Structure 1
Amino acid sequence: MARTSRAEAARHREDVVAATSRLLRERGATGMSVQDLMGAAGLTHGGFYKHFSSKDELLGIAATTAFGELLALLAQLSDDLPDRSEARSALLRDYLSAEHRDTPGTGCANTALAADAARASADSPLRTSYAEGVQETLKRLTDLESAPDRSDEAARQRAVVDLATMVGALTLARATGQTPLSEEILYTVLDALSTAAPVNAPGDADGRC
């Protein structure tokens, strides 16, 4: 019986984390109460503190889970498309799409959680998880930017530019809703990134090693 109870408790905790990860990306941290989070997992809020010490702790765990989903997708993309240029192009198309714009709950944590992380205190679990997630995202993107004629520094710089530009474009597209302007932002930025010249490393005029 005890084993069943522990297994059930572990499953409930996973359900709460998964629901919070989705709602955090959909509504933001201030748009959810403990009751909302537990209810989304089909549980009563009275059992919350059996699983988490605070809502802040849960938000940090949920943010890490959201980034984990993204990193797994990036890893899968690299496996499916070993050619880095093709993988980058596929990422740009998927990221800067109307489908991604309209499904924040399952979308990229870099965009969905940016505002909440910016407002959170410097030592909060959410801010910590977000900073770690951005770093890991950039590592994956840097791998996609690697090329024989490009230095590691130039690949990292281009990864930073790609991520910052995609996050900014998706944020604006979501803020302007399903409008012609929103569509314009997505396809204009997609076109610009798809045809962008490599970012040059400092002191490297042509961006080559």
Structure 2
Amino acid sequence: MKVSKEKAAENRAAIVKAAGRLFRERGFDKVGVAEITKAAGLTHGGFYGHFASKDALAAEACEAAFAESLNRLPADEVSPDGALDAFLTRYLSELHRDRPDGGCPMSIFAMEVGRLDPAVQERFGVGVERFLEVVAQRLPDGEADETGRRARAIAIVSALVGGMALARATARAEPELSAEILAALRDQLGALGSGAG
């Protein structure tokens, strides 16, 4: 039976969403095509009608994971704490730490992407660039110049990614240390973002 274009697009989107969740939860190499299609509610046989390879899916899932994360950012704009502080509080939360399957792809994929297909690396790079732009836009207006704003944004994003990786790595064995890492980064990055760092 022929599937309509709308249903085919719906199935493709379901595969991408399931892949993004599973890749963030367990990593690219630890998830197979059969598991992804099953999580999407589809059969394994239809996968190659949508994607040429698992790498092609990984590239699209990476891009979709960044879009999902970036789509949450407008809510920060209306926070009484300010957009940057609201973003830092949400990013460096125990909820984000404990739910990598729905979280920011940078802290999950950063260590793996360098070993993956160039298409995945390219999509990851584009996503990181978009995050840097968003963080730079949230910095106080007093930053001297565009180069200084970008350097400050790079420092903040790099600390977020590394800090979240450390918080996740210590969460089970050293939960107090994990919470301390998140709290210290919220304080320190907030100061860096305000120009006090």
Residue type at the aligned position of 2:28: A
Instruction: Name the amino acid aligned to 1:64.
Output: E
Structure 1: distance between partners of 2:13 and 2:196: 41
**Which stretches in structure 2 are left out of the alignment for 5+ residues?**
none
Q: Is the 8 A contact 1:146 1:152 kept in 2?
A: no
Deviation at 1:126, TM superposition (A): 1.2
Any conservation in 2 of the 1:28–1:113 contact (CA below 8 Å)? yes
**Match in the other structure for 2:108:** 112
* Equivalent of 2:87 in 76, 91, 114: 91
Q: Once superposed, what is the RMSD of the aligned Cα atoms?
A: 2.0
Letter of the aligned partner of 2:116 in structure 1? Answer: A
* Percent sequence identity over aligned pairs: 36
In 1, Cα distance between the equivalents of 2:191 and 2:39? 42
- What is the alpha-carbon distance in structure 1 between the residues aligned to residue 23 and residue 59 of structure 2? 10
Query: Where in structure 1 do 4 or more consecutive aligned residues deviate above 3 Å?
Result: none
Q: Secondary structure at the match of 2:29?
A: helix
Cα distance between partner residues in 2 of 1:119 and 1:148: 39
Query: 2:195 corresponds to which letter in structure 1?
Result: P
Partner of 1:207: none
Q: Give the distance between the partners of 1:127 and 1:42, measured in 2 at CA.
A: 28
Separation (CA, whole Å) in 1 of partners of 2:98 and 2:128: 22
| Alignment check: 8 A CA contact 2:132 2:157 kept | yes
1:192 and 2:188 aligned: yes
Provide TM-score, normalisation by structure 1: 0.86
Q: Distance in 2 between matches of 1:7 and 1:189?
A: 45
The one-letter amino acid of 1:198's match is: G
What residue is the counterpart of 2:150 in the other structure? 156
**Partner residue in 1 for 2:22:** 23
Match of 2:163 among 169, 190, 194: 169
CA contact (8 A) 2:90 2:96 kept: yes
For residue 99 of structure 1, report the CA deviation from its aligned partner: 0.6
Give 1:195's aligned amino acid. A
- How far is 1:112 from its partner? 1.4
Contact preservation (8 Å) 2:93, 2:182:
yes
Which of these residues, 126, 134, 139, is aligned with residue 128 of structure 2? 134
| Bigger radius of gyration among the two | 1
Q: Which residue is 2:35 aligned to?
A: 36
Aligned match for 2:99, one of 77, 98, 103: 103
Partner of 2:47: 48
The amino acid that maps onto 1:74 is L
Q: Would the alpha carbon gap of residues 199 and 161 (structure 1) be closer, same or farther in structure 2, given more than 3 Å must change?
A: farther
Q: CA deviation at 1:8?
A: 1.4
Segments of structure 1 that go 5 or more residues without pairing to the other structure are 201-209
